[in-house]
Amino acid sequence: MALINGKGGVGKTTVTANVGGLLALSGWRVLVVDLDYQANLGLDLGYRHTPSDDDGLALAQSLAYGVDLKLLRDVRPGLDVVVGGSHIEGAAAALVSKAAQGKLLEARLSIAAMLDKLAADYDIILLDCPPGNDMLQSAAVAAARYVLIPVKTDDGSLEGMKITASRLESVIDLNPDMDLLGVLMFGSGTSATTVRREFSDQVVAALGGVDATPAMKAEIEHLVFTSYLRHSEATARKARGSGLLVHELDDKVKAAPKFWDQLKAGIKPQSVGPASAEGVADDLQAIAAEVVRRIQDKEAAMELANV
């Protein structure tokens, strides 16, 4: 599953790391692939700037020269990672020149070929796409069975979603099995029911256009996830800053001594994290559950169609 939106800062990495972590916790074998030179996934999972962080070198070599991938294993139980970082830029440039030298197909299928050897070892592979870089984005989509587009509820993000959705159409020739799993609302206010209603309408308008039939509109509306990620800068900053997934941060907050107990013990009260971590952790859990439900629904429908 590729998490993609040409627009930056819409939750691609946060959702990749946390959904990956939650699925691993539930017993799935999970691989997350960081295709971004910013390597924020390493911050969310806590391995950035540790000795096991190669800044995307192994990934770049695999993409550019086809050598076998080196993985970072057991970043969490059941969760392996392909580390991203600055080396990816060079690999992406190598793919662009490969394409220019007449090997466009090879370049477009580079990520698919790289992951093909590993796919059988995992229940799910999540691709965290970079916000820019057309070549990597389209190679990621060419490798994906499902695509999830996180979107912020502002106009710029909706525009990014529209461009991303049209890019999906351009890889159908290479990857006819690719399917849009849904559009996920990121950073919304919790009580903003009307914001979410309007968001759904905007997605329908952006993807369906003015000529959409009621049936098409209903289909697009169904693409909008019912779960969403609420806005909480305090939790986001604390989680990324400490290399903890949000449910891990939440566990830590709950296990910490209460401030009155600290006071009673004569210790200066210290907070390990914001109380808002609980709500954000709940949202991410609901998102992970909806990802699973949607994939299961699609795969059940496919099986029926094949009977």
Which two tokens mark 272? 């390990």
Asked if 208 touches ligand ATP (CB under 6 A), the answer is no
Phi, psi of 208 (to 5 degrees): -95, -25
Alpha-carbon distance of 240 to 69, in angstroms, equals 26
Q: Which of 48, 240, 247, 294 binds ligand ATP (CB under 6 A)?
A: 240
Asked if 70 touches ligand ATP (CB under 6 A), the answer is no
User: What does 232 bind: Mg ion, ligand ATP, none (CB cut-off 5 to 8 Å by kind)?
Assistant: ligand ATP
Asked if 280 touches ligand ATP (CB under 6 A), the answer is yes
Q: Which of 13, 175, 188, 227 binds Mg ion (CB under 5 A)?
A: 13
Asked if 229 touches ligand ATP (CB under 6 A), the answer is yes
Binding span for Mg ion by CB under 5 A among 38-46, 179-187, 220-228, 252-260: 38-46
**Residue placing its CB nearer to ligand ATP in the complex, 110 or 232:** 232
Give the shortest CB-130-to-Mg ion separation in angstroms: 7
Alpha-carbon distance of 260 to 253, in angstroms, equals 15
CA 146 to chain centre: 11
Binding span for ligand ATP by CB under 6 A among 2-10, 75-83, 160-168, 259-267: 2-10
Binding span for ligand ATP by CB under 6 A among 7-15, 87-95, 191-199, 204-212: 7-15
# chain residues binding Mg ion, by CB under 5 A: 3
Alpha-carbon distance of 32 to 111, in angstroms, equals 13
Nearest to 58 by CA among 49, 67, 50: 67
Burial (CB count within 10 angstroms: exposed 0-12, middle 13-18, buried 19+), residue 85: buried
Nearest to 290 by CA among 179, 184, 168, 151: 184
Asked if 238 touches Mg ion (CB under 5 A), the answer is no
**C-alpha to C-alpha distances, 203 to 25, 96, 150, 247, nearest whole angstrom:** 32, 32, 12, 29
Asked if 14 touches ligand ATP (CB under 6 A), the answer is yes
User: What does 233 bind: Mg ion, ligand ATP, none (CB cut-off 5 to 8 Å by kind)?
Assistant: ligand ATP
Q: Which of 2, 4, 11, 87 binds ligand ATP (CB under 6 A)?
A: 11
**Phi-psi group of 3: left, alpha or beta (phi > 0 → left; psi -120 to 50 → alpha; rest → beta):** beta
How many CB atoms neighbour CB 233 within 10 A?
A: 10
**Residue placing its CB nearer to Mg ion in the complex, 29 or 231:** 231
Asked if 13 touches ligand ATP (CB under 6 A), the answer is yes
Give the shortest CB-59-to-ligand ATP separation in angstroms: 16
Phi, psi of 81 (to 5 degrees): -135, 140
Asked if 276 touches Mg ion (CB under 5 A), the answer is no
Check: CB of residue 37 under 8 Å from CB of residue 233: no
Asked if 187 touches ligand ATP (CB under 6 A), the answer is yes
Q: Residue numbers of the site for Mg ion (CB under 5 A)?
A: 12-13, 40
Question: Which residues sit at the interface with ligand ATP, rule CB under 6 A?
Answer: 8-14, 36, 38, 40, 131, 187, 229-233, 236, 240, 280
